[in-house]
Amino acid sequence: MLNRTLLQFVAEPKRLFRSRGTMKTTKITTHFRLSFRSAPCLSFRSPGSPASGLCSLGWSEAEESAFRSEALEFGFTLIELMIVMSIMLILMALAVPQMLKLKKHANETSATQTMRTIGQAEMEYDSSYHTYACPISLLGGDPKTGAPSAQAGQLLDPTLAASSQKSGYTFTITCGSKVTINNQDVYDSYDLIGVPQSVGHSGDNGYCSNENNIVKVDPAGATNCTLDLQ
């Protein structure tokens, strides 16, 4: 047995008479009346079919239509919402690892390119100043500040040279021992490494290079680079 409440608007005339004069005023007042009806049958009729269900109980066409509208406005049930949320969680569980894998692959591709870019900058720096740049910041510098110098070679992106970081990787240059060439102490070798800022999250591989500008890989994300870059 389903109890249904209909909220009806009823307009009833209320006559107000003035004690003097002949003017008669009628005031229309609107009030709410709650009516309770039983609906043991909830079968609805399809458009164009004979009245059945609620209409067989003596309900008017407007009342049946209002009841159907209220039933449709209830929306999702709790179980339906839980099912939808469960499906969304399953999809997220499948999508997140794939997105992380794609991001790591993009970071690693960027890191190998950055390693080659830094190596090329070191070669140009050595050609100009007959030594290698240590640390990496010497390869940077803003062209607007003046001409290139040994302290600001302007051969590398200033942001990368200043922060030593790009796309989830950190890059470090370590020079070898100084040697004296033409009465000048210079570096004749260097080691360049690029490692993930968070191994397993920002990248899986570590990368190493030197003055030969040949990049090798450490699958563990460290600096023990023994594998050739594929």
The residue extents of the domains of the chain are 43-74, 107-228
pLDDT at residue 159 greater than cutoff 80: yes
Long-range own/partner contacts, residues 99-107 (CB < 8 A, 24 or more apart):
100/201, 103/168, 103/202, 104/168, 104/201, 104/202, 104/203, 104/204, 106/167, 107/167, 107/168, 107/169, 107/196, 107/202, 107/203
- Name 204's Cβ contacts closer than 8 Å, sequence gap at least 6: 104, 108, 196, 219, 221
- In this prediction the pTM is 0.61
For residue range 145-155, what is the model confidence (pLDDT) as tens digits?
899 999 999 99
User: Residues 168-176: what's their mean pLDDT?
Assistant: 96
User: Residues 193-204: what's their mean pLDDT?
Assistant: 95
The neighbour count for residue 173, using CB atoms within 10 Å, is: 22
For residue range 20-32, what is the model confidence (pLDDT) as tens digits?
444 444 444 444 4
pLDDT at residue 66 greater than cutoff 90: no
